[in-house]
Structure 1
Amino acid sequence: MALIQLYHLILLCLFLPFSAYADNPIGYYCANPFNAGATQARINTVLSDIVAHASIGGFATSSSGRAPATTIYGLAQCRADVSSQDCSACLQDAAKALPAACPHLADARIWYDYCFLRYDDENFIGESDTGYSLILYNVENVTGDGDAFDAAVGEVMRKARAAAVAPGTGGLGRETTGFSPYVNIYGLAQCTRDIGELACGQCTASAVERFADFCVHRKGCRVLYSSCMVRYEIYPFFFPIDSKRSSSSGSNSIKSEDEVGSYSMVILSP
């Protein structure tokens, strides 16, 4: 009950299929209405800038405007394991979809599997943000010892989180382990590159803590904040594909929607 007192919880959909494709958004956040045409012009400038630069380097920030006028700040980042082609395609889709989903709203964010894009009329760059989250969990439980599975997930995510804060990783950590002869656990953690190692560690720790609230014994789960995300599955979902480990479950490629089951989404906001 304490969780409900602290957060406004919305069950968005009961059966949400997972998608591995860049043109399917996971979710949006929209706030802060505006009326000035100049603000929209600054949003367009920021979007154009961050998409162009992040498509090349996987990450970019930008701003447009000077006081006392409204300044718009923007950030774009791709998952560090995806190709530059997929990164560019994802960001271009995001830049088109976000203003349409959040018309005349200056605080807008969009999450995809391969990328994240955000703009705001308050300067959020360099600030860790865990105030709004999307949580997706597989509606199916693992078979066998669920407590042992959750313990294995915890260890996988501990290693993924440690890799995410290590120098030279681009804020991305990946880890794979064999839970049983037929089940592997794949874990990923990533932070936006504008926050430091300490903030990244704290952000991913907070995200993993959500597993205990929504993901106990689940076959898969992910928590998406505006500054970091964590995820685990029992199928390979990140690149490069570990063909040796994935062969035990009969696959050496990213799974399609029809193969991974149904997911539910929960939205938490302060």
Structure 2
Amino acid sequence: MSRTLQGDSSYRIILVWRLSSLLILFSSVVSVHGYPSRAHMFIYAVCSQEKYQPNSPFEGNLNSFLSSVVSSSSEVTYNSFAIGNGSSTPQEGNVYGLYQCRGDLHPIECSKCVGRSVNQIGLVCPYALGASLQLEGCLIRYEHAGDFLGKLDTSLRYKKCSKGVTSDVEFFRRRDDVLADLQTANGFRVSSSGLVEGFAQCLGDLSISDCSSCLSDAVGKLKTLCGSAAAADVFLGQCYARYWASGYYDESDSSNNDQVGKSVAIIVGVFGGLAVLVVLLSICKKAAGK
């Protein structure tokens, strides 16, 4: 009998936590145009098709990983984890993951950003065996296998291009100066030339040579995919590069790809709000029937 009561109590705690997370996500999506903090803005998410079972060893290790991520992010801006590897846990329960904050974020802001990611990743990618969530200021990723750690990945995850600048020779010269500087970054770098600014970053598990290769690919994609854009962002599997002209960074006339990320966040937020409403109505109905 006591075990049943403990199980019910644990279930209610988990339910309350998930409902709270849904409300947090919903409220953050509703205020997206207010940009209370750019670091918390949704960029993209990638979710595996494979799912894990509730109450499985994988779920337990995933919760341990997410908890470790939150506590670590208040001290360092990058860290990687292997949960369950080498223990008595069955191999199918292993969780490998990492997080990284933008290099210019204060530890307090880094921790807040990672905490927001942890609240969202299970809602955006429910029961996914692997997932990545990129916010403006931080990335969180986990997988069932650890072969992605330290391995160069230049696959395109997201791009955003503003309106083009067709005849400003000075702008293109300044832009190319910034991109050439960013391409030589080792980790995180900010660069500027005249009214053009930019920054780039590699994941902390990349070697210097792989970081250089990744950023070279990112800069190449900025030019080929966004052409004459006055502002552009390209996120690859393990690095990103961005530039903008003064006054263009916050432009709303971005590519359709930008709207995809926002649409995903809005859809999740709306369904989250509806889920909360359905649960509350169900509770009220049961209470009225007693």
Coarse TM-score class (shorter-chain normalised): 0.7 to 0.9
| DSSP 3-state at the match of 1:130 | coil
Does the Cα contact within 8 Å between 1:203 and 1:228 map onto a contact in 2?
A: yes
Shift of residue 198, structure 1, vs aligned partner: 0.4
Q: d(CA) in 1 for partners of 2:98 and 2:188?
A: 17
Name 1:53's counterpart in structure 2. 72
Letter in 1 for 2:157: S
Q: 1:264 to 1:97 in 2, by over 3 A?
A: same
Larger relative strand fraction:
1
**Match for 1:125 among 137, 140, 149?**
149
Name 1:172's counterpart in structure 2. 188
What are structure 2's unaligned runs of at least 5 residues? 1-31, 259-290
Does the Cα contact within 8 Å between 2:73 and 2:107 map onto a contact in 1?
A: no
Task: Give per-residue Cα distances to partners, 1:136-155, cap 9 Å, x unaligned.
Answer: 111x2226325x53343222
Q: d(CA) in 2 for partners of 1:265 and 1:51?
A: 32
Name 2:235's counterpart in structure 1. 224
Name 1:210's counterpart in structure 2. 221
Shift of residue 72, structure 1, vs aligned partner: 0.8
Percent identity, aligned pairs only, is 24
User: Does 1:78 pair with 2:119?
Assistant: no
| DSSP 3-state at the match of 1:173 | strand
Shift of residue 176, structure 1, vs aligned partner: 0.6
Does the Cα contact within 8 Å between 2:190 and 2:198 map onto a contact in 1?
A: yes
| DSSP 3-state at the match of 2:38 | coil
Task: Give per-residue Cα distances to partners, 1:42-67, cap 9 Å, x unaligned.
Answer: 11111111221123111111121235
Which of structures 1 and 2 has the larger relative contact order (alpha carbons within 8 angstroms, sep 6+)?
Answer: 1
Does the Cα contact within 8 Å between 2:92 and 2:144 map onto a contact in 1?
A: no
Specify the structure having the higher radius of gyration (Cα). 2
Q: 1:152 to 1:17 in 2, by over 3 A?
A: farther
User: Does 1:194 pair with 2:211?
Assistant: no
Letter in 2 for 1:45: S
**What pairs up with 1:60-99 in 2 under 5 angstroms?**
60-66=79-85, 68-99=91-122
Number of residue pairs matched? Answer: 219
**Match for 1:160 among 169, 176, 182?**
182
**Match for 1:21 among 38, 45, 51?**
38
User: Does 1:30 pair with 2:52?
Assistant: no
Q: d(CA) in 1 for partners of 2:211 and 2:230?
A: 25
Shift of residue 266, structure 1, vs aligned partner: 3.4
Letter in 1 for 2:62: I
Letter in 1 for 2:164: N
What are structure 1's unaligned runs of at least 5 residues? 1-15, 166-170, 179-183, 236-248, 250-254
Task: Give per-residue Cα distances to partners, 1:80-102, cap 9 Å, x unaligned.
Answer: 11112211111000011011111
Could you state the TM-score of these two structures normalised by the residue count of structure 1? 0.74
Shift of residue 17, structure 1, vs aligned partner: 7.6
Q: d(CA) in 2 for partners of 1:17 and 1:200?
A: 33
